[in-house]
Amino acid sequence: MSNVPALTFSDDQAEAYDRVSADLLSMGIDLGSGGLVPQAEGKGTVLAVLGKAGSGKTMLLASLYRALKEAGVEIISGDYEGRRRKERRSLAVLAPTNKAASVLRLRGVPATTIHRILYTPLYDPQYEKIAEWLAGQAPRPAVEGLTELALDRAHAFYQQVPSIPGALAAAGLRGSDFIKGWKRREDPLDVGFVDESSMLDQRQLDDLREIFPTLVLFGDPAQLAPVMTSGEMVFDKLGDSRKMMLSRVHRQTQDSPILDLAHALGDSSLSFMDFEQMVQGAARKDDRIRWAERVSSDLMARSPVLVWRNVTRIKLIQAFRAAYGAPEDALLPGEPLICDGIELPLKHRKKRIDLEARGLIKGAQVIYLGPGRKDGFARLHVVGAEDPQVSAACIIKIEKPDEEEPFIPSAANMGAAFLHGAAVTIHKAQGSQWEDVQVFAPDLWAAAQAGRMEAGVALWKRLAYVAITRAEKRLHWVVRNRLALPKTPLGVADLVVRPVPLALEGLEPEESVS
């Protein structure tokens, strides 16, 4: 068997580890001996490691990442890529969203988004010397304008968190100082690990296969398939020999009432009323489950209420804004937003790449910090991004009940589009986690009454499973259509505020999108 830490792996994890190791060996990467040989032409493979919440997928991914790193494989983090070496073998760990990538980074795995790996940053030559030094590719440089103490701070940061932008920020530099633009990736990489792969559609998988001859997909088959698809997930099309299932629960050493509820949904005979009784019983025994008579507006400011129906989402957002006294013609600093895509014509492709690379991709969670220096611009905090503070031309849409057109408090002619984020659909919440999660149970009851099925499973159960497993510490099961008034004012003091990159404020005249 491979060099597997058997004391911490279950049998199914060890089997999956060995299977991935065998595929990597056929690609020239020997995790046992640490040997590397050049990539063989024409070879390619896709594997899937599947399991429900808590089955140890992330633990396995992290172990494989560490083994590849120890074997000498170069880790591509998406924030900096050194000079290409002919003999190098490479690994990138990817997630569909910034929030999902940040969950992995908190566990010591330098994950990045799929968008970020499709494009590579162009560094200012002066500051690229620092990046090369931190990455171990060059000696310590002397950089005009930076003291030795600043370089020491950058080095100390990089030893703790392997992020070049983070290290340069520790030295007192801003993103606009060292990143001058982005370009589409030209050279392929070797191995890609993709977390939360249940969120992928076929087009994204095809894009990844162009870059990575070896892909390992980590996913949860019990989650919801991407919207506007047949209900299949990309790994469903793989043959059985390409899929490995994990079953044992690993997430917490103590029993988790949240995971107990999630796994109970696998009982085909369980009714919605029976499940609610289980939730109520768990709430009596464990504080990590809360039976809530109303929605908490304080929690909505940072973790959205999860709903099924759009009409519910819109009504809750309006109630949230009213509770905080938000005016109709402006946003308050601290209001949450969800990126709904980039609205730019083809001639502004360079700017689109820049915005997406900085985290403004469809589904990104954002906190509004205030207006920018130009009309239509806004200062934003991108949740989960390594360099979260940006300023960009925005189209912010606030939908209202029974009105076809959304209200737009302020907008540029084109740029990043946003919806309000105090409540989101369970579909859009996939890939994210929050310490506290509020699930709006009346919507799930409505789904149960509708009797809809998806991939042979009652839709309400798939919705409930995804919603419940978004909770890291506490699950709030909200049973009434009521909203509690906030106990604290809305603000941004809880966010780490860095200087906003000026390069995103002022565009060149021919690229102006305001």
Q: DSSP characters for 306-371?
A: EES-HHHHHHHHHHHHHHTT--TTSPPTT-EEEEEEEE--GGGHHHHHHHHHTT--TT-EEEEEEE
Unique residue bearing structure tokens 């957002």? 317
Question: Please, what is the Cα angle at 429 between 424 and 435, to 5 degrees?
Answer: 100
- Do the Cβ atoms of 436 and 300 come closer than 8 Å? no
Give the residue-averaged pLDDT of 210-217.
Answer: 92
Among 266-280, 282-296, 379-393, 431-445, name the one with the lowest average pLDDT: 379-393
Residue 85: predicted pLDDT: 60
Is the pLDDT higher at 136 or at 458?
458
DSSP-derived pairing of the beta strands 289-292 and 471-478: parallel
* Burial grade of 154 (CB within 10 A; 0-12, 13-18, 19 or more): buried
Tens digits of per-residue pLDDT, 325-366? 999 888 999 999 999 888 877 666 677 777 777 788 888 899
CB atoms within 10 A of CB 514: 18
Unique residue bearing structure tokens 């044992």? 248
Res. 409: pLDDT tops 60: yes
Unique residue bearing structure tokens 């020491």? 152
Unique residue bearing structure tokens 């983090």? 77
- Do the Cβ atoms of 140 and 97 come closer than 8 Å? no
- Supply the DSSP symbol for 502: H
Q: Print burial letters for 316-355: b (CB count within 10 Å at least 16), e (below 16).
A: bbbbbbebbebeeeebbbbbbbbbbbbbbeeebeebbbbb
DSSP-derived pairing of the beta strands 389-397 and 423-425: unpaired
- Rounded to 10 deg, the angle between the 257-264 and 272-285 helix axes is 170
DSSP-derived pairing of the beta strands 243-246 and 179-184: unpaired
Amino acid at 417: A
Length of the chain: 514
Tokens of residue 232, six digits = 């299949």
Is the pLDDT higher at 112 or at 504?
112
Closest CA to 435 of 338, 265, 302: 302
Res. 253: pLDDT tops 80: no
Amino acid at 389: Q
Give the residue-averaged pLDDT of 165-186.
Answer: 74
Confidence of residue 506 (pLDDT cuts 50, 70, 90): very low
266-280, 353-367, 421-435, 494-508: which is most confident:
266-280
Q: How far apart are CA 62 and CA 57, in angstroms?
A: 9
- Do the Cβ atoms of 313 and 425 come closer than 8 Å? yes
CB atoms within 10 A of CB 311: 13
Tens digits of per-residue pLDDT, 3-49? 544 446 778 888 999 999 998 888 888 887 777 776 656 567 899 99
- Do the Cβ atoms of 200 and 234 come closer than 8 Å? yes
Give the residue-averaged pLDDT of 194-199.
Answer: 91
In the chain, what is the greatest distance between 2 CA atoms, to the nearest angstrom? 70
Among 59-63, 299-303, 401-405, 506-510, name the one with the lowest average pLDDT: 506-510
Helix (H, G, I), strand (E, B) or coil at 77: coil
Give the residue-averaged pLDDT of 144-161.
Answer: 87
Residue 7: predicted pLDDT: 44
Is the pLDDT higher at 462 or at 375?
462
Residue 254: predicted pLDDT: 54
Among 87-96, 292-301, 366-375, 492-501, name the one with the lowest average pLDDT: 492-501
Confidence of residue 135 (pLDDT cuts 50, 70, 90): confident
- Average pLDDT across the chain, whole number: 84
- Rounded to 10 deg, the angle between the 272-285 and 441-450 helix axes is 160
Confidence of residue 180 (pLDDT cuts 50, 70, 90): confident
Res. 514: pLDDT tops 50: no
Is the pLDDT higher at 258 or at 27?
258
Amino acid at 340: D
**Alpha-carbon torsion (453, 455, 461, 466), positive or negative:** negative
- Rounded to 10 deg, the angle between the 257-264 and 459-468 helix axes is 160
DSSP-derived pairing of the beta strands 45-51 and 214-219: parallel
Res. 393: pLDDT tops 70: yes
Q: How far apart are CA 459 and CA 454, in angstroms?
A: 6
Tokens of residue 301, six digits = 């400011």
